[in-house]
Amino acid sequence: MPRKPLINWKPLWRDPSVLIVVILISALLALFVLFPLFQVLKTCFITKDGSTLTLKYVWELFSKSYNRQPLYNSIVLGICVALLGTTVGFACAYAVTKTDMRFKRLLQASTLLPIISPPFVIALSAILLFGRNGIITRKLLFEGLGIDLYAAGFDIYGLTGLVIVETLAYFPTAYLVLVGVLSSIEPALEEAASNLGASRWKVFRTVTVPLSLPGIVNAMLLLFIESMADFGNPLILAGRFNVLSVQAYLQITGNDNLPGGATLAMALLLPSLAVYFLQYYLLRQRSFVALTGRASGAGTQTVDKRVQYPLMVICWGTVGCVFLFYGLVLVGSFTRLWGVDYSLTLNNYAEAFRLGMDYIVDSLLLAAIATPLTGVLGMVVAFIVKRKQFVGRGLLDVTSMLSFALPGTVVGIGYILAFNQAPLMLRGTAAIILLLFIFRNVPVGIRAAAASLDQIDPSLEEASTNLGAGSLTTFGRILLPLIAPAFFAGLAYSFVRCMTAISAVIFVVSGRWNLITVAILGFVESSDFSQAAALSMILIMFVMTALGLIQLVLTSVFKLRITEFFGYANTSSN
């Protein structure tokens, strides 16, 4: 295969337009990514007067067992969710890629629901199902059969409930990672082992699993990060099982203790950051999966029934749980008062639009502004990192992706510390929410554009440059049309993230600018579950409508499906 021609790199000072863009982007990343992180570190280890380094806040906080316990709880929860979620995700991915199981499209479509909705919607449904007034625990078991699960020691609030809801919320991440890994394994390798007399189980154990092991580890690390960073579900369901993300929030909002909240955020940051970079390293080492070139087109294999039946139980059991949980949110949105009056009504939606219209308008407006800005910035950063050589290019690349390594709690605390005083007094404004959205989600656009640029022969740009076009002209007229599908798919994912965000933005919302996700949490905390369910369904409706419109553009113009990009985007999100 002939080698691709190399672009004739030239110093940035000979390309003033690109030099200006590099300086501007570097300044923006330093201000809105590094500076908030620095403020968190500074608050943890420097005295309030800014004079000396200190470990006082760390010692004061972690010398108390009730502050050490959330770190242990977060790690235990992360490990449980990583193991269980990856197992479910692998089973679904294996069933889709390696079996002739029926209704695969339904299975694939069901994995989108937890992605396009706030994760804490499942926590809300868990309360509607298994709370003290839940439809299963009270209506079916207690009133119907006389069985009191809570008297027997069951409690949805705590580790058990969090493992259930986080597994259902995050297993699609593992599925989307592993379906790509399993579909990339050359079928001829498995067929060769089978033809040599290996049983289905032995082929699975000695060929399929070893080849997909990097993807399995990568999925487990991603789920661990997502569980550690989760805020909405623990805020609703943790009960006495305290976790770091919620404890840091309570230190700031409840105790007005910024150093304490920042220190807990740092304890959350360190394991998440370490696991993220390990995951990022493994992601770059995907070549460890043995491939023999293009797929042979052998298609899916019909697995032995002894394997297929357990897979069907796991897959359809998971799909059933997803539809049960989301279906109950839909039913709950029409219930007059959950737990007291189950008569059906439309008043919840009327009240949702009356009381929550400002939240809905703010969410849509801020997401509509932030989404295209995020997409454009991602395209430009990817172009500079992939197609230009300059001192500090690697640092720019790492910094631009850093916001995905930071748990939302850390980002939110960093923003209120960084932009709470002159000359950068942004607290209480729409600008701080927009900036958080943009720099929190820009890595999605960067990776999407970078993947597209890797598939474009540099000779196209070289020809444009040789004909006298500048870098920005080449980018606008040659590259941008070619990476447009990734741009639009990136817009879809960014919009979803903006509409469903909670962990970071809860620190920066204000009375003037608020979000629908915050309103939903408020209704849950006040035990108005029917109203929370109605707002949740409105949010899902708006997100699905926006995705449908973007999918229409992608299908009619580029013949691309959003789900193809979501699988890629979720391999780098937390």
State which of 310, 333, 356 marks the end of a domain: 333
**13: in domain:** no
**94 and 211 together in one domain:** yes
Q: Structurally, how many domains does the chain consist of? A: 2
Q: Are residues 232 and 352 in the same domain?
A: no
Residue pair 433/509 in contact (Cβ under 8 Å)? The answer is: yes
Amino acid at 273: L
Are 505 and 388 in a shared domain? yes
Closest of 224, 236, 233 to residue 268, by C-alpha: 224
- Residues 189 and 221 reside in one and the same domain: yes
* Structural domain containing residue 124: 68-289+296-333
Distance (Å, rounded) from C-alpha 203 to C-alpha 217? 20
Residue 402 sits in the same domain as residue 321 = no
Cα(275)–Cα(120) distance, rounded to whole angstroms?
A: 23
Is 148 part of a structural domain of the chain?
yes
**Per-residue confidence (pLDDT) for residue 477, from 0 to 100:** 74
Q: Report whether the peptide linkage leading into residue 423 is cis, meaning its omega lies within 30 degrees of zero.
A: yes
Q: Residue 560: its pLDDT value, please? A: 61
Intra-chain end-to-end CA distance of the chain, in Å: 38
Position 54 in a domain? no
What mean pLDDT, rounded, does the chain reach? 80
Establish if 2 belongs to a structural domain: no
| 250 and 395 assigned to the same domain | no
Residue 51: pLDDT band with limits 50, 70, 90: low
Is residue 572 very low, low, confident or very high in pLDDT (cuts 50, 70, 90)?
very low
Q: Where does 406-513 have alpha helices with state H?
A: 408-418, 430-454, 459-466, 471-474, 480-482, 484-500
| Higher per-residue pLDDT: 363 or 307 | 363
The alpha-helical segments, DSSP class H, found in 65-155 are 65-98, 104-110, 120-130, 143-145
CATH value at residue 566? 1.10.3720.10
User: Are both 325 and 363 inside the same structural domain?
Assistant: no
CB 546 within 8 A of CB 146: no
Establish if 43 belongs to a structural domain. Answer: no
> Residues 365, 320: one domain?
no
Question: Which residue, among 514, 563, 520, has the nearest Cα to 539 in the 3D structure?
Answer: 520
Quote the pLDDT of residue 559: 63
Q: Cβ(128)–Cβ(134) under 8 Å?
A: yes
Query: Considering the domain boundaries, does residue 23 fall inside one?
Result: no
Question: What is residue 116's three-state secondary structure?
Answer: coil
Reported as a single tens digit per residue, the pLDDT across 432-442 is 999 999 999 88
- Report how far Cα 42 is from the mean position of its chain's Cα atoms: 28
- Do 397 and 462 lie in one domain? The reply is yes
In this predicted structure, what is the pLDDT of residue 108?
Answer: 80
> How far, in Å, CA of 450 to CA of 274, rounded?
24
In a domain, residue 26? The reply is: no
Would residue 38 count as lying in a domain?
A: no
256-291 per-position pLDDT tens digit: 778 878 888 888 887 777 777 776 666 555 544 444
On whether both 414 and 321 belong to a single domain, the answer is no
Task: For Cα atoms 229, 561, 317, give the angle at the middle one, nearest 5 degrees.
Answer: 60
Residue 538 CA to residue 547 CA, distance in Å, equals: 14
Together in a domain, 157 and 203: yes
Looking from the CA of 416 toward its CB, the CA atoms found within 13 Å total 22
Q: State the pTM of this model.
A: 0.82
Residue 371, both tokens: 């989404």
Percent of the chain with pLDDT over 70: 87
- Last residue in a domain, options 333, 357, 391: 333
* Lowest-pLDDT choice from 138-147, 177-186, 340-349, 529-538: 177-186
Question: Are 329 and 370 in the same domain?
Answer: no
Mean pLDDT of 535-548: 88
